[in-house]
Structure 1
Amino acid sequence: MANPPTPPIPLAARPVLFLDVDGPLIPFGSAQGYPVYESPGAPTEADGHPLLSRLDPALGPRLAGLPCELVWATTWMDDANACLAPRLGLPDLPVADWPEPSAEDLRSGTHWKTAGLVAWAAGRAFVWVDDEIGDADRRWVSAHHPGPALLHRVDPRIGLGDGDFAALESWLRARAG
């Protein structure tokens, strides 16, 4: 007998997944290069960012299938919804905003996004997917965030891959019960 389907998790109870763009979604490439993708109906390279051809449209459905609330956490800000979401088949997503880094942020060695993302999460469980996460960020989040958090560093040469999705899905499903 099959298990009944899991009911959807109310949005407010779902973990947040903060998603960086440059590195995780748009890889910088390696000595072997990087794949180039065509996006039917999307603007051409001449119409936008010269690296958009590196954005794999198959990532959109994979991200949308994760049991979380997706939030852009990128310097692309609102341009992520205008340029990236249509290529990925995603709806407009919330965009995390953060204050300028404080002197304490700079002294602690944390990423300039760290404190702002913790404030945005407001105690909710969250995942932060970025290529610039370090040990100082993990220590700071552990000391300042009351809920569970996964800071997942992606190799910027190759971007989000199967191993990353396996880790994200496992962590998120564990939080979903």
Structure 2
Amino acid sequence: MIDTLPLLFLDVDGPLIPFGASRQELPHGYPTYSSGRRQPRGAGTHPLISRIDPAHGPRLTALPCTLVWATTWMSDANDCIAPWLGLPELPVVNWPEPSDEDETGRVHWKTRILLDWAAGRPFAWVDDEITDADRTWVAAHRPGRTLLHHVDARKGLMDADFAALDQWLRTCVPAGDNR
């Protein structure tokens, strides 16, 4: 069966692992969590994994979409983060080798690759590095439905982000699909 649900491209650093808040914003530092799940060898060695709220796992799986890792963690996201969140192994966008080009003020290096990967399918992209340049480029090069959802890296995914994603994704679910 062909999956007709929209894609949700998910970045890790920023949306799932918050970072960059000042001491004034978080005088006691970021909260840490325990997932209560058995971790594969090496997963607990990442110093920031405990910043990921394991409650995000059920919230992500409740969204009417096909989740795809769109992160520089690549397959490590399936090894470390998916078990932490209780997610199954997810598809992974494989990135090309980095370029020495300066991307300042231009389209993010992930943008073109995600459009190609989606192959015309509706998608939402959740990342802390999305800019107006990305939105403008996507609007000019993509006739299909897209949502480029910027997340504040200092806070990570919040209730309002999940609500916005759920609302948008539900507008893309084919009629008669009750997911």
TM, length-normalised to structure 1:
0.86
Pairing partner for 2:116 from 114, 119, 123: 119
Q: Distance in 2 between matches of 1:65 and 1:158?
A: 21
> What amino acid does structure 2 have at the position aligned with 1:147?
G
Listed one character per residue, the Cα deviations across residues 10-45 of structure 1 (whole Å, up to 9, x for unaligned) are: 753110000000000001152313211012223699
Aligned residue number for residue 33 of structure 2: 37
Pairing partner for 1:50 from 47, 51, 65: 47
Q: Distance in 1 between matches of 2:18 and 2:92?
A: 21
Aligned residue number for residue 7 of structure 1: none
Aligned length: 168
Equivalent residue of 1:175, what SS?
coil
Listed one character per residue, the Cα deviations across residues 52-84 of structure 1 (whole Å, up to 9, x for unaligned) are: 110111000000010000000000000000000
Unaligned residue ranges in structure 1 (runs of 5+): 1-9
- Asked if the contact 1:98/1:117 (under 8 Å) is kept, the reply is no
Unaligned residue ranges in structure 2 (runs of 5+): none
Q: Quick one: structure 1 residues 25 and 46, their matched pair in 2 at CA, closer, same or farther if it must change by over 3 Å? A: closer
The alignment yields a C-alpha RMSD, in angstroms, of: 2.4
Pairing partner for 1:83 from 69, 80, 87: 80
Query: How do 1:78-157 and structure 2 match up within 5 A?
Result: 78-100=75-97, 106=103, 109-157=106-154
Q: CA deviation at 1:144?
A: 1.3
Q: Quick one: structure 1 residues 143 and 99, their matched pair in 2 at CA, closer, same or farther if it must change by over 3 Å? A: farther
